[in-house]
């Protein structure tokens, strides 16, 4: 029996055919198809990301120009799941030729190559928001900018050509419009219905996009509130889609110190980049290249590095071979080089963080701590931590009308999921307590709750004591910018959950956030924040950063522990005293009837003795339970608002 000859597979494409189909991909085209990488995963996040990118750019521009920032944010509904987001600032404005490039070209900016702290880094954000708006509504980005009260206002309508990653200007015959700074110009603005708050200089960007507006966690409202905390020098005007206006006034009238640009540190340069820098440098010798290209490399250190790599100090960089570059890289990693300068970062400061926290977050006890500057991979960074204890939970602030709207707009599948995802610090235990008290089913859809059931739910939210069911609420920041998504993937959340908070008088289950009415703020300031992705939503794990995080958390934790333990001791002694006082009147009456003594004198003597015995109720106690020499000695940068014990 003969074997069958296997059929030969038909060749589908030749190498030449495949070569014809290969072509360059524009960066705009790539991100248009992968917009989730930039934070445009869904309509709700898209609205927040758009506002966030514009506000961040406004703050950076104002601070760099030395102007105390004032920002206007207006969100307006233009149809079903369509919104118009307009953000204006009082910054220096933008020169005409730069406007199309900034708003109509991805990866265009001034911050990517600078080693100094700034909010934006990649030059993607605001142009990506405009691209998302164009893709979902077909509407261009509208930009109005003014650099002087005596110069014309520049007005552009721009869209990105995703094939070429270039701006396409739609108005003014491809040149934009120049609006004169006079009555004629103001009439032109009114005629064309251009929104513009009259300022001497500034920029306004308007983007119409497919979006979803929600309140609560991960919302624009929450972002602006958190921005006011980390930027106490800014004034924010906010108008939401329902026309409600909110003003966050600045609490300090001083700009943060301007960060100084530094050169890269040798520890932060990888082998491939080092080899590229060597062959691109205009310096005549390797020694000169090392001293001029890197920070903290003196001529003596450069000679040590060359000697360790067995390379001539005066050898021209262009003649350095790859194996020599690798030896130089190894020499750098093993050498002792001073840490880079830290004037390239500007932390919020303990005092200013405390003021911002106290103004926005309700509470009874506030504390802040700032760690000394440190370095990861050659990049300077600094950790700041703030903590607020007490105050009503977020659920207590919600009106009945707002709750009805939030339930109707929610995309949560169950009521339990709605409660835990909408209200900060409201954990699963507290959600179950609310649902049980409201006599509702935990798995009922928020959209299917009857009006009378909503009333019961609102009453439970307002009246129940949820302090035991609350979990710690964490506000994460990177270079003063709130991080509102992917908390579980963020080093900050992981470090907080991995810490033991029981020594600081907070209850905590293993591997969980501590329980209690606590709001924690953690700020990472750095010349290069190690985000986990381009969407800039979570901080990657680095041991050096985690160590500083833990030390900062412990610093505020100790202050909180001192406060809570003292408060508990005072409360116990106060209750003990009240028991004594409750019966002293009867004791004084009985003694007076037995020995004929004056009842009032007896009562006064007994009260004095009781107060002396329970004197600890009037004494401030330290962490170890001993009386403190100084009252309320919690250290610097602490505010105690209320002694409600």
pLDDT at residue 550 tops 90: yes
d(Cα 490, Cα 471) in Å, to the nearest integer? 18
Three-state SS for 400? helix
> Is residue 224 located within the same domain as residue 97?
yes
pLDDT at residue 631, rounded to an integer: 47
Cα atoms found within 13 Å of the Cα of residue 427, Cβ hemisphere only: 19
More confident: 392 or 99:
99
Domain region containing 453: 394-463
Q: Scanning the structure block, which residue is given the tokens 């840490």? A: 339
Is the pLDDT assigned to residue 357 strictly greater than 90?
no
Both 359 and 454 in one domain: the answer is no
Percent of the chain with pLDDT over 90: 37
Asked whether residue 239 is assigned to any structural domain, the reply reads: yes
Alpha-carbon gap, residue 424 to 631, rounded angstroms: 33
Query: Is there a single domain that holds both residue 90 and residue 204?
Result: yes
In terms of domains, do 361 and 405 share one?
no
Q: Is the same domain home to 446 and 537?
A: no
**In a shared domain, residues 328 and 347:** no
Structural domain contains residue 13: no
Bridge-based pairing state of the strands 379-389 and 374-376: antiparallel
pLDDT at 465: 53
Domain boundary among 463, 498, 513: 463
CA proximity to 127, closest of 248, 28, 2, 21: 28
**Residue 385 and residue 485 in one domain:** yes
Does residue 254 belong to any structural domain of this protein? no
Residues 210 and 329 in one domain: no
Q: What's residue 622's pLDDT?
A: 43
CATH, residue 281: 1.10.8.50
Task: Count the domains in the chain.
Answer: 4
Say if CB 463 and CB 508 are below 8 A apart.
no
Domain containing 98 — which CATH number? 3.30.565.10
Q: Which of residues 98 and 639 earns the better pLDDT score?
A: 98
Domain boundary among 445, 463, 481: 463
Tell me whether residue 69 is in a domain: yes
Give yes or no: residues 200 and 178 share one domain.
yes
Nearest to 70 by CA among 253, 260, 242: 253
Q: Cα(91)–Cα(146) distance, rounded to whole angstroms?
A: 9
Angle between helices 451-463 and 428-438 (to 10 degrees): 130
Q: What is the mean pLDDT of residues 435-461?
A: 85
Please say whether the beta carbons of 614 and 576 come within 8 A.
Answer: yes
Q: What is the SS3 assignment for 267?
A: helix
Please give the share of the chain, as a percent, with pLDDT higher than 70.
83
**Which has the higher per-residue pLDDT, 134 or 623?**
134
3-state secondary structure at position 355: helix
| Cβ neighbours, 10 Å, residue 244 | 9
Would you state the structure tokens that stand for residue 434, as one six-digit string?
Answer: 């609310």
- Please, are residues 389 and 361 in contact by the beta-carbon 8 Å criterion? no
Which pLDDT band, with edges at 50, 70 and 90, does 123 fall under?
very low
């Amino acid at each position: 029996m003969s074997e069958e000859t296997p059929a030969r597979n038909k060749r589908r494409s030749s190498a030449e055919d495949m070569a014809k189909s290969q072509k360059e991909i524009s960066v705009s085209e790539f991100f248009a198809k992968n917009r989730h990488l930039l934070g445009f995963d869904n309509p709700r996040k898209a609205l927040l990301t758009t506002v966030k990118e514009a506000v961040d750019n406004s703050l950076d521009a104002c601070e760099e120009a030395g102007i105390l920032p004032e920002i206007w944010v207006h969100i307006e509904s233009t149809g079903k799941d369509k919104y118009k987001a307009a953000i204006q600032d009082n910054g220096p404005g933008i020169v005409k030729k730069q406007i199309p490039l900034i708003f109509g070209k991805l990866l265009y900016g001034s911050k990517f190559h600078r080693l100094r702290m700034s909010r934006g880094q990649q030059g993607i954000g605001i142009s990506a928001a405009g691209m998302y708006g164009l893709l979902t509504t077909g509407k261009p980005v509208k930009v109005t900018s003014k650099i002087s009260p005596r110069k014309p206002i520049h007005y552009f309508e721009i869209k990105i050509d995703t094939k070429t990653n270039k701006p396409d200007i739609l108005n003014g015959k491809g040149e934009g419009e120049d609006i004169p700074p006079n009555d004629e110009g103001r009439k032109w603005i009114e005629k064309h219905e251009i929104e513009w708050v009259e300022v001497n200089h500034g920029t306004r960007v308007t983007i119409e996009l497919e979006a979803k507006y929600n309140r609560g966690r991960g919302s624009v409202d929450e972002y602006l509130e958190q921005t006011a905390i980390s930027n106490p020098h800014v004034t924010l005007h906010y108008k939401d889609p329902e026309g409600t206006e909110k003003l966050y006034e600045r609490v300090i009238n001083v700009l943060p110190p301007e960060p100084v640009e530094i050169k890269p540190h040798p520890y932060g340069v990888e082998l491939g980049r080092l080899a590229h820098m060597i062959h691109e440098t205009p310096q005549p010798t390797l020694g000169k290249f090392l001293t001029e290209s890197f920070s903290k490399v003196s001529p003596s250190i450069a000679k040590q590095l060359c000697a360790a790599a067995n390379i001539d100090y005066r050898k021209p960089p262009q003649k350095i071979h790859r194996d020599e570059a690798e030896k130089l890289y190894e020499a750098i990693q093993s050498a002792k080089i001073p840490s880079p300068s830290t004037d390239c970062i500007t932390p919020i400061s303990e005092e200013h963080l405390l003021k911002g926290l106290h103004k926005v977050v309700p509470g009874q006890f506030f504390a802040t701590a700032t760690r000394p500057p440190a370095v990861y991979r050659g990049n300077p960074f600094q950790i700041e931590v703030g903590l607020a204890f007490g105050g009503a939970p977020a659920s207590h602030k919600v009106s009945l009308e707002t709750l009805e709207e939030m339930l109707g707009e929610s995309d949560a599948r169950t009521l339990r999921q709605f409660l835990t995802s909408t209200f900060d610090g409201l954990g699963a235990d507290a959600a179950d307590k609310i649902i049980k008290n409201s006599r509702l089913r935990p798995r009922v859809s928020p959209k299917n709750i009857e009006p009378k059931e909503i009333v019961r739910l609102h009453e439970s939210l307002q009246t129940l004591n949820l302090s035991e069911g609350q979990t710690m609420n964490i506000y994460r920041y990177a270079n003063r910018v709130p991080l509102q998504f992917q908390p579980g993937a963020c080093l900050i959340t992981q470090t907080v959950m991995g810490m033991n908070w029981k020594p600081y008088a907070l209850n905590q289950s293993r591997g969980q956030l501590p329980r209690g009415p606590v709001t924690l703020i953690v700020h990472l300031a750095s010349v290069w924040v190690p985000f986990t992705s381009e969407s800039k939503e979570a901080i990657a794990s680095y041991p050096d950063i985690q160590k500083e995080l833990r030390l900062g958390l412990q610093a505020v934790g100790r202050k909180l522990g001192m406060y809570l333990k003292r408060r508990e001791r005072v409360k116990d002694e106060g209750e003990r005293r009240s028991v004594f006082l409750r019966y002293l009147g009867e004791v004084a009456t009985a003694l007076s009837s037995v020995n004929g003594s004056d009842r009032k004198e007896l009562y006064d003597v007994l009260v004095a003795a009781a107060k002396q015995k329970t004197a600890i109720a009037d004494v401030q106690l330290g962490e170890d339970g001993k009386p403190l020499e100084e009252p309320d000695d919690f250290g610097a940068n602490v505010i105690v608002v209320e002694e409600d014990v």
